Structure 1
Amino acid sequence: MTATTGQGLQAQPSAGTATADVPAAPPSPLLQRPGAVAAEGVDAGTAWHYGDPVREQRLLAQGLALVDLSTRGVLRVEGADRRTWLHSLTTQSLGDLPPRTSAESLLLSPKGHVEHALHLVDDGEATWVTVEPGAQQEVLAFLDRMRFMLRVEVADVTDAVAVVGEPVARESVDGEPLAWVDTWPATAPGGVAYADVADDEHPGAGRPWREVLVPRQELATFVADRDLAGTWAAEALRVEAWRPRAGAETDHRTIPHELDWLRTAVHLRKGCYRGQETVARVHNLGRPPRRLVALHLDGSGHELPPAGAALHVRGEDGTPGRSVGAVTSSARHHELGPVALAVVKRSTPPGDVLLAEVPSGGAVTAAQEVVVRP
């Protein structure tokens, strides 16, 4: 069967049975652009920047650049039962998802811990799902195990379909490539916000974003001569927007409440799904044990705390005190300077000044900005 995603996109999907040796997405041809510096870590295979990350951030913030996200995994789910099936397995209400309407959902463990974030959009014939680079193998294996006798087929089409990030908030229309629109931070029906700011005052309100699905062999043609921004720029704007990312803000203990993910990815009034008991219990009876914070870092030095860097309360003598959490993402923002997201213990007083460890063995001062209220 041939997969289509709107205008011109065709992919020959692989078999719906997951295998352990499914390859990751190939390196992007856009790395051949002049000045391109390759990213490392999860975004390896795309460009960290193209020679001027500050300019790239400005262009992206102004809606004038694209971001190569072609290492993201892409799955195609077809069959008459696809939406009700995905509805039953994940945190979002998907049973009546209209064509070309975007949704975000989470795959949770039986104990309610976040395993994967799914970006979903249906084209009327199939539901397309993008996931973090390399995660498609694990997601495909899980979905394939859960098919039972339902009329669904799941295929990994990462090798044929590429993702391009675009600073646009509009859903795609017929005649355009299919796109998933990030509605963050608007609180979705059935969702609830854990931050103290209103949706229209949230720092993410000024960050339009969508993922466009294009044939991988046409990636360079789709981008053409438009300006490109690297993952450095995209991540800096994501951090500014307090936008959680699976694999960055998450670990094996993460529950959605800790990251304010109930606003866009969880429907509190839908039927049963794996991990629902934890979601309902924490929301109705308590508070999450940890909370997401934004950090404004001392920019007088040249080092940023990497992901996983320990956070300590700064003592009266300026030395690190007790450990309260860890940095999850850090970036240099073109206006705000060095910024980060971090997960800290719920009991950490919001007014405490923190110290974030840096690779040289020292620490930088970090001022908290409350994201998830304590």
Structure 2
Amino acid sequence: MTYLSPLLTRPGAVAAGAPDQGTASHYGDPFKEQRALARGAAFVDLSHRGVVTVTGPDRLSWLNTLSSQLLLGLEPGSSTETLLLSVQGRIEYNARVVDDGTTTWLLVEGFEAEGMAAWLDRMKFMLRVEIADVSDTWAVLGSVKRLEALAARTVWVDPWPRVAVGGYAYSVVTEEEHPGLERPWFEYLIPQAELASTVDELADHGLSLAGAMASEALRVAAWRPRAGAETDEKTIPHELDLIRTAVHLDKGCYKGQETVARVHNLGHPPRRLVFLQLDGSQHTLPAVGSVVVAGGRTVGRVTSVAQHYEMGAVALAIVKRSVDPLGELVVQDGDDVYAAAQEIIVAPDAGQVVGRATGFLKGRR
């Protein structure tokens, strides 16, 4: 059954396509909404996202054995991010994690929830844990600041782009230069039955609704990867700079750890995430999946594209590691060609930290 948010009935709502199908793309003025969201005067409907709960006294120690992040001792109200990987170290599920003292909440993309809950249920064995996909009864709202009106709600605070304990930055910019600092991010858990009334309450506090176009533009500008957009069946966390927030390099054994350690210490990720400033003179945007071309050959693909209220047309793309970081790129969508200025997110020489005396390539952003 296709999900449809009750907020799609709000004035001006225009339905979004994938990956935000079921919510509003915008409510009549995308750039106004984006500006409001960026300054903390708006919030976005993320009720199409998936929500999985894990309860029971063994929940954190059990999740710790399965995932890439150190979850032992996660304090109530604390947030983190973790990955469930394949044996080959490829990303299968990317979960935003917050624990409230009795329940661990896993916030995921809508398409991930059912499969992840089923996989977790198969892995519980004799441990004291219970897993439930509660996506039908819980919704999520997102904002760039803490909302006082939702202070009593469970909230996940995005660690991006701060390097978490046990993490490692694969970018060429320092933490203080990272554009993700301009987009702090909070996701609030709301009972689905209270979604409409909560939105009305926020409106009484002077906050407006923004659509997916607004939140996606801010995400792309923050270099923040998204499951199902920047990931495919081959993606390893190193390619997206997710060692920064979602992997603890010093924790014990978990599925996929060997690949994570081997690439980090001795190898290089085969692909890397880049940010693209696109030529906006055509007044159109390339489609997601459009090819990235360098020197006449295809070197990657566009994974997310947006119209930013300040920077214009922007995109995230996955390209081959060997692509010259100073080279000129173009994005080709059928007969349409867009010049693309490349900003490095993951350094071409990322990985192979054993014996590395200094940081990564210090090329231009």
1:200 is matched by which residue type in structure 2? E
Is the 2:150–2:188 contact (alpha carbons within 8 Å) kept by the matching residues of 1? no
Is the 2:292–2:300 contact (alpha carbons within 8 Å) kept by the matching residues of 1? yes
Corresponding position: 1:223 with 2:199: yes
CA distance in 2, matches of 1:50, 1:174: 22
CA distance in 1, matches of 2:150, 2:315: 39
Q: Give the paired residue count.
A: 343
Match among 322, 334, 342 for residue 347 of structure 1: 322
1:331 partner SS: strand
Match among 124, 127, 152 for residue 150 of structure 1: 127
1:100 aligned residue: 77
Corresponding position: 1:325 with 2:309: no
| TM superposition shift of 1:159 | 0.9
1:41 partner SS: coil
Match among 145, 167, 170 for residue 191 of structure 1: 167
1:337 aligned residue: 312
Q: Which runs of 4+ in 1 moved over 4 A?
A: 172-175
Corresponding position: 1:203 with 2:179: yes
1:246 aligned residue: 227
Is the 1:303–1:358 contact (alpha carbons within 8 Å) kept by the matching residues of 2? no
Is the 1:100–1:173 contact (alpha carbons within 8 Å) kept by the matching residues of 2? no
| TM superposition shift of 1:175 | 6.3
1:159 is matched by which residue type in structure 2? D
1:373 is matched by which residue type in structure 2? A
CA distance in 1, matches of 2:29, 2:70: 41
| TM superposition shift of 1:131 | 0.5
| TM superposition shift of 1:355 | 1.4
Match among 168, 174, 177 for residue 153 of structure 2: 177
| TM superposition shift of 1:174 | 11
| TM superposition shift of 1:303 | 2.4
Match among 19, 35, 60 for residue 58 of structure 1: 35
| TM superposition shift of 1:173 | 12
2:251 aligned residue: 270
CA distance in 2, matches of 1:223, 1:88: 38
1:259 aligned residue: 240
CA distance in 1, matches of 2:179, 2:150: 31
Match among 102, 110, 115 for residue 92 of structure 2: 115
Cα-Cα RMSD: 1.5
1:74 aligned residue: 51
1:135 partner SS: helix
Gaps of 5+ in 1: 1-22, 316-320
| TM superposition shift of 1:169 | 5.7
| TM superposition shift of 1:362 | 2.2
1:283 aligned residue: 264
| TM superposition shift of 1:302 | 2.6
2:117 aligned residue: 140
Q: Percent identity?
A: 57
1:370 aligned residue: 344
2:298 is matched by which residue type in structure 1? S
Is the 2:153–2:190 contact (alpha carbons within 8 Å) kept by the matching residues of 1? yes
Is the 2:155–2:188 contact (alpha carbons within 8 Å) kept by the matching residues of 1? yes
CA distance in 2, matches of 1:180, 1:161: 14
| TM superposition shift of 1:42 | 2.0
1:308 aligned residue: 289
1:295 partner SS: strand
Is the 2:230–2:318 contact (alpha carbons within 8 Å) kept by the matching residues of 1? yes
Gaps of 5+ in 2: 349-365
CA distance in 2, matches of 1:329, 1:182: 19
Q: TM-score, normalised by structure 1?
A: 0.89
| TM superposition shift of 1:33 | 1.0
Q: How far does the alpha carbon of each residue in 1:133-187 deviate from its partner, in whole angstroms, 9 at most, with x for none? A: 12101101110110100000001111111000011269x9996100111010000
1:103 is matched by which residue type in structure 2? T
1:3 aligned residue: none
2:329 is matched by which residue type in structure 1? L
1:42 is matched by which residue type in structure 2? P
| TM superposition shift of 1:351 | 1.3
Assess, with a 3 A threshold, how the Cα gap between structure 1 residues 352 and 214 changes in structure 2: closer, same or farther: same
Q: TM-score, normalised by structure 2?
A: 0.91
1:54 is matched by which residue type in structure 2? F
1:130 aligned residue: 107
1:248 partner SS: coil
